Chain A
Amino acid sequence: MKKYSILIIVIAMGFMFVNFNIEEINIPQEEVKTDSAIYYVPADVLQIIDKSCYGCHNSESKNIKGKGKLKFDKMSELKLYKQVGKLTDIADVVKSGDMPNKKFKKNYPDRMPTDEEQERLISWATDLAKQLTPPE
């Protein structure tokens, strides 16, 4: 009986980490490399992006500067190196504390990512960038 309950817990936990597909963020998978391929973003990462980044960084955004530098919903249309470049920069600017910027911090303090959320975003972006980059 005990064995089964452990198994159920493990399966349930597995479901928590199941990646789900969302149209907004479609980054082609390395193996496929077609524009239609969709990269699966982990649900917890998606939640952070949605809360703290997507408001400015989408193609419909009124924030011209933010939109100009990064549009999550158009990421899959970029060349592979640009996707890697954007992901690397995401990790950089979150690490340095430049993003979310001061204005966002002031206007939406409740939507600032926690330290753990920042760590999660950085490791996701770095790992995915590595995965998409051919060996040196």
Chain B
Amino acid sequence: MNKKRLTWLIIILLIVIIQFIPNRKPEVILSNENDLIYNNKLPESVENILRTSCYDCHSNESKYPWYSYIAPVSWLVVRDIKVGREELNFSEWESQSKMDKAKNIDKIIDEVSEGNMPMPIYTLMHSEAKLSEDARQQFADWADNYAESLFE
């Protein structure tokens, strides 16, 4: 067996082996009584943005793509969803205090306006999740109005 073939064999073997490393995916729950969309009448455009650009990582309704079943990509997906839900989970939106809602809306507006969210690595694989400048503005305006209405 020549060197090149051996290298390939090792690589393939490694890929097969890492598939057996446990990597538990965050659970998918489709019905959440404290969900933001479920509890509020949102403009359709805003609901669409939330569902296509945010909800995969920031809700319990994550949709796992095919590559999320294959290591090592699956590790990245699982980590991003775990961290995303920890930071902000729209499925549990109504269970927070008004103070936390204010904090989160303030952060959401910053992240979306500055273009940090959705993350580039996410939109790379989900081109439909990319937000235009208009969409960002529209979303930020809605968030601002929504938070203001909580403080009237």
Chain A residues close to B by CB (< 8 Å): 68-69, 79-82, 84-89, 92, 129-130, 133-134, 136
Contacts and interface: CB of A to CB of B under 8 A. Distances in A.
Nearest to A68: B110
B107 A89 contact: yes
A82 B98 contact: no
B106 A133 contact: no
A85 B105 contact: yes
A85 B102 CA distance: 5
Given A134-B151, A136-B98, A85 B110 contact: no
Nearest to B144: A79
A32 B103 CA distance: 22
B105 A81 contact: yes
A134 B106 contact: no
B152 A136 contact: no
Contacts, number: 56
A98 to B, nearest CB: 12
Interface residues on chain B, size class = 10 to 19
Interface string B73-106: 0000000000000000000000001111011111
Interface of B is mostly: helix
Given A69-B110, A81-B105, A81-B106, A88 B100 contact: yes
B150 interface: yes
Contacts of A92: 103
Interface of B: 97-100, 102-107, 110, 144, 147-148, 150-152
Interface of A is mostly: helix
26 contacts: A68-B110, A69-B110, A79-B147, A79-B148, A80-B148, A81-B102, A81-B105, A81-B106, A81-B148, A81-B150, A81-B151, A82-B102, A84-B99, A84-B103, A84-B151, A85-B105, A86-B106, A88-B102, A89-B106, A130-B99, A133-B97, A133-B102, A134-B98, A134-B150, A134-B152, A136-B97
A80 B110 contact: no
A70 to B, nearest CB: 10
B98 A133 contact: yes
Contacts of A81: 102, 105-106, 147-148, 150-151
B56 to A, nearest CB: 25
Contacts of B110: 68-69
